[in-house]
């Protein structure tokens, strides 16, 4: 928040200082211009208060709420200069975070009635990960790992040695000896790998990478009635394909598009008569 304000304000808001009287009071409404799901209200409220602690800020609609065009999300009253200075930074955060929550909601809605849950990924804006993952939750999604430190995900690029399954299992045992609470996920892009990984009781999740619908169904059948390891489908997921993927019986579907290419929600700050 502080860095974002510093980036925008720099040595001072020259427009507000020279064109808005210091004693002018104003009331502004943060309004949704389109339907969607709101996220980032606490952050936006904090930005207004950071610029001017005397501003009166009322959050009218909480994060995770669906809104129609015209919905009043927040009301801000106080010095007009301060409201104008904080406006763009607050909107920048809320528009992107609400866009993420809205897109997540669309994916969650698309798999309604199946057992699959929608996951985010690490494809987030640098420095914004906690914010963007919170927005995913506001949209009804589920957070995957926060970073490289809270879950192991072993992909093909990690398996650079020729040690095979024995060496992989030894590495997992070394990990769990030092970090017993860390979950283990292995990536499989072939059913042969799924079959091998299903024999490893240390594995919590298998990532089914870019598999066809038929391969996903086969992977679910191979696991049988067991609840572990859980199966995560990933790769090229869109709103048009996600329901068919969910109907294969996988437990999770990870969607990088929730955060890496989302469209900002149209929000605006309208000044009104006090």
Instruction: Respond yes or no: is residue 117 known to be catalytic.
Output: no
Of 33, 49, 123, 217, the active-site residue reads 123
Of 45, 63, 132, 187, the active-site residue reads 187
Instruction: Respond yes or no: is residue 56 known to be catalytic.
Output: no
Instruction: Respond yes or no: is residue 88 known to be catalytic.
Output: yes
* Cis amide prior to 11 (ω within 30 degrees): no
Of 209, 215, 232, 251, the active-site residue reads 209
Give me 6's structure tokens.
């510093």
Instruction: Respond yes or no: is residue 247 known to be catalytic.
Output: no
Instruction: Respond yes or no: is residue 169 known to be catalytic.
Output: no
Of 49, 50, 75, 88, the active-site residue reads 88
Residues tagged active-site:
88, 123, 155, 187, 209
């Amino acid at each position: 928040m502080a860095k974002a304000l510093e980036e925008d304000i720099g040595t001072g808001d020259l427009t507000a200082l020279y064109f808005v009287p210091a004693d002018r009071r104003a009331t502004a409404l943060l309004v949704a211009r389109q339907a969607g799901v709101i996220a980032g209200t606490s952050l936006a409220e904090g930005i207004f208060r950071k610029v001017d602690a005397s501003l009166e800020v009322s959050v009218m609609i909480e994060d995770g709420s669906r809104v129609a065009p015209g919905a009043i999300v927040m009301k801000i009253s106080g010095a007009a200069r301060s409201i104008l200075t904080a406006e763009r930074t607050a909107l920048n955060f809320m528009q992107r975070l609400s866009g993420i929550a809205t897109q997540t909601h669309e994916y969650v809605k698309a798999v309604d009635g199946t057992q699959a849950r929608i996951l985010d990924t690490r494809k987030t804006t640098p420095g914004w990960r906690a914010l963007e993952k919170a927005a995913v939750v506001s949209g009804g999604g589920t957070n995957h790992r926060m970073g490289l430190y809270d879950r192991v995900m072993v992909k093909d690029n990690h398996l650079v040695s020729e040690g095979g399954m024995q060496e992989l299992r030894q590495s997992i045992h070394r990990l769990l000896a030092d970090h017993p609470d860390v979950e283990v996920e292995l990536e499989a892009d072939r059913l042969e790998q799924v079959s091998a990984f299903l024999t490893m009781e240390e594995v919590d999740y298998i990532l089914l990478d870019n598999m066809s619908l038929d391969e996903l169904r086969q992977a679910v059948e191979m696991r049988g009635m067991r609840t572990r390891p859980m199966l995560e489908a990933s790769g090229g997921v869109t709103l048009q394909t996600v329901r068919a993927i969910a109907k294969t019986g996988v437990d999770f579907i990870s969607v990088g598009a929730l955060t890496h290419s989302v469209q900002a929600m149209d929000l605006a700050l309208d000044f009104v008569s006090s």
